[in-house]
Amino acid sequence: MKNELESFKEILQLKRYSKQTINSYLSNLKLAQVFFENKSFVSINEKDWFNYVFHLVNTKYIAASTQRQIVGSINLFYKEMYGKSLNLDQINVSQRENKLPPVLSANEVKAILTHTSNLKHKALLSLLYGSGLRIGELLELRLSDIDSERMTVRVNQGKGKKDRLTILSHNVLKVLRKYFVEYKPKDYLFEGQNGGKYSASSSRNVLKQSMKRAKITKPATLHTLRHSFATHLLENGVGIAHIQKLLGHHNIKTTLIYTHIANDSLMTIKSPLD
């Protein structure tokens, strides 16, 4: 079984899947491996998979998005490893949940940055919000990806294996220059204490601690800063097509969700109670 997963990993690497996607697929399959007590996947049928996912939904209470990822992992594994497709329609989520992403207000973002005293941490959170980056994209940035002449940030091979440019804030650039003088990163823009890329888990902890100091109890993650970037641009009159390019969305429908969050003309409507 271990060899099967290693072979699957190599196939995904050759097909240039991102590290994050590969780790997600392997994690899903390793959990299933434990459930089936190391039984070879080739001998597991559709009914077995139905029982497995049913167990996760009714015992572990997994979210619909997680269920969708698990089914996707199973489908891809059987396609690449055995050249066959399973009939998993019964365990696939029939409809996507129409949930609006959480967003911080401009004042809340300002409070978070104000309560981030460590210069490296402030630079990381400022760039994440100021350029609308995914955390995986930010941690892959090299020094050469920051262009202070054109005031852009170059994202290499972001989600969907696409390169793109996004904006660089003048205020963020000031923070980055101070950070560079003090920390002197050599390769990656943000590096760990022992070199190499700064970790996503450390980044999450940075936000958590800053929110705690700022006394913000709203549920938020690093990705919330990206959602907030897009929403605030929309509220400031930036066109949805421009926001789509900055975020690197393949489909405009993905970007249109921010029109349901922004405090635009909808919020000027008075309640009949008033």
**Which tops the pLDDT comparison, 87 or 157?**
87
Q: From the candidates 121, 122, 164, 226, give the one annotated as an active-site residue.
A: 226
159 is catalytic: yes
226 is catalytic: yes
Contacts of 251 (CB under 8 A, 6+ apart): none
Does the pLDDT at position 8 exceed 80?
yes
According to the model, what pLDDT value does residue 150 have?
Answer: 94
What is the rounded distance in angstroms from the CA atom of residue 119 to the CA atom of residue 172? 12
Does the pLDDT at position 263 exceed 90?
no
170 is catalytic: no
Q: From the candidates 121, 122, 134, 227, give the one annotated as an active-site residue.
A: 134
**Which tops the pLDDT comparison, 69 or 268?**
69
* 137 contacts 158 by C-beta, under 8 angstroms: yes
223 is catalytic: yes
Could you tell me which CATH class the domain 106-267 is placed in?
mainly alpha
pTM of the model: 0.70
State pLDDT tens for residues 116-172: 999 999 999 999 999 999 999 999 999 999 999 999 999 987 666 678 999 999 999
* 91 contacts 49 by C-beta, under 8 angstroms: yes
According to the model, what pLDDT value does residue 266 have?
Answer: 59
According to the model, what pLDDT value does residue 189 have?
Answer: 96
According to the model, what pLDDT value does residue 124 have?
Answer: 97
Q: Which DSSP string corresponds to the chain?
A: -HHHHHHHHHHHHHTT--HHHHHHHHHHHHHHHHHTTT--GGG--HHHHHHHHHHIIIII---HHHHHHHHHHHHHHHHHHHS-----GGGS-SS---PPPP---HHHHHHHHHT--SHHHHHHHHHHHHHT--HHHHHT-BGGGEETTTTEEEEEEETTTEEEEEE--HHHHHHHHHHHHHH--SSBSSB-TTSSBPPHHHHHHHHHHHHHHTT--S---HHHHHHHHHHHHHHTT--HHHHHHHHT-SSHHHHHGGGGTS-SGGGGSPPTT-
Average pLDDT, the chain: 88
What is the rounded distance in angstroms from the CA atom of residue 158 to the CA atom of residue 160? 6
State pLDDT tens for residues 34-53: 999 888 888 898 899 999 99
Domain ranges in the chain are: 2-91, 106-267
* 2 contacts 42 by C-beta, under 8 angstroms: no
Place of tokens 């101070």: 178
According to the model, what pLDDT value does residue 158 have?
Answer: 65
Does the pLDDT at position 98 exceed 80?
no
* 216 contacts 111 by C-beta, under 8 angstroms: yes
Query: Would you state the CATH architecture of domain 2-91?
Result: Orthogonal Bundle (1.10)
Q: From the candidates 154, 159, 197, 213, give the one annotated as an active-site residue.
A: 159
State pLDDT tens for residues 161-213: 678 999 999 999 999 999 999 999 999 999 998 888 999 999 999 999 999 99
